[in-house]
Amino acid sequence: MSLARRGQVCVSLILRIIILQSLHLLPIICRYLSQTWLIIFAVSKLLINLQLFLTYFQHWGTFARIWHVYDAKWQDPYKSAEMLKHYLLGTNKPIYHPLNNCGDHVVVINSKEIALRGDEWQKRVYFHHTTYHGGATWTLAWELHSKDPTLIVEKAVYRALPKNLQRRHNMQRLHIFPDEKIPEDMLKNISNQIKQLRDVPVRLNHIPKTEIDSFPQLLRYPKNHILK
């Protein structure tokens, strides 16, 4: 999202303010400024105000926290995390500074349907220790995922973020949901969608029958032909 684009988020709010302002001023204008040129003067004044308002809100828009949504369906959580960390840290903005708290919110949906590479579901192990004797546990990725489908994404992003005191605060701005359901109060904040790393292809068994039938074929097998 470009800087200028960011400013346009508040446009509806500005227009509402302008309309309210003009409505409030209308009876006063009618009462005191009966002459035409004075009305023209008032209108031009209002237009200048509009310009000022726009600049003002653009400035605000630059510093606003933006809510992004990311569909994790069939995406590698570890590669996604490398991309998402820029949004959480604010390193995707030209105003970034390490002491400037300018990170955005990221809502990750469909974390249940993430894809790990190769045989990582069987081979990737998550280690935990309770600090008691014999308290070490090793959980396989598929086991962890069946217990909590949001944890793999969370751990991946946590690992990708820089290891400093801000890490847990940055994680506060990450919201992960196993399916497409986002709470209403979060959904109304969202104003941008992050592009997926890879496009989700259509599965062969999900292509509709009519499309398969209409696909051009070089030869048609006879009806009594049995495929091996």
Partner 1 sequence: MVFLSLSLLTRARGPDEFWRKRKIFKLAAHFFARRRNCYSVAIRGVHRALTYSTIGRKLKKKDMKELQEQRLEAATSEHGLNFWILMEGLTRCNILLNRKSLTDLAIWEPRSFKAITDIACARAKQDHLKTKLNIQVPKSVISRGLIK
Q: Under a CB-based contact definition with an 8 Å cutoff, are residues 67 and 105 in contact?
A: yes
Residue 4 touching partner 1 (CB under 8 A): yes
Identify which of residues 90 and 149 has a Cβ nearer to partner 1 in the complex.
90
- CA 14, 16, 18, 21 dihedral sign is negative
Site for partner 1 in 62-91 (CB under 8 A): 86, 91
Which of 15, 43, 47, 95 forms a contact with partner 1 (CB under 8 A)? 95
Q: Report the residue from 32, 98, 128, 171 that binds partner 1 according to the rule CB under 8 A.
A: 98
Stretch of residues binding partner 1 (CB under 8 A), selected from 65-73, 93-101, 130-138, 174-182: 93-101
How far is C-alpha 54 from the geometric centre of its chain's CA atoms?
A: 25
8 Å CB contact between 53 and 17: yes
CB atoms within 10 A of CB 39: 13
Read off the tokens for 26. Answer: 């209308």
Could you tell me the smallest distance in angstroms from the CB atom of residue 36 to partner 1?
A: 37
8 A C-beta contact, residue 153 and residue 162: no
Q: Closest separation between CB of residue 187 and partner 1, Å?
A: 25
Catalog residues that contact partner 1 under the rule CB under 8 A. 1-4, 86, 91-98
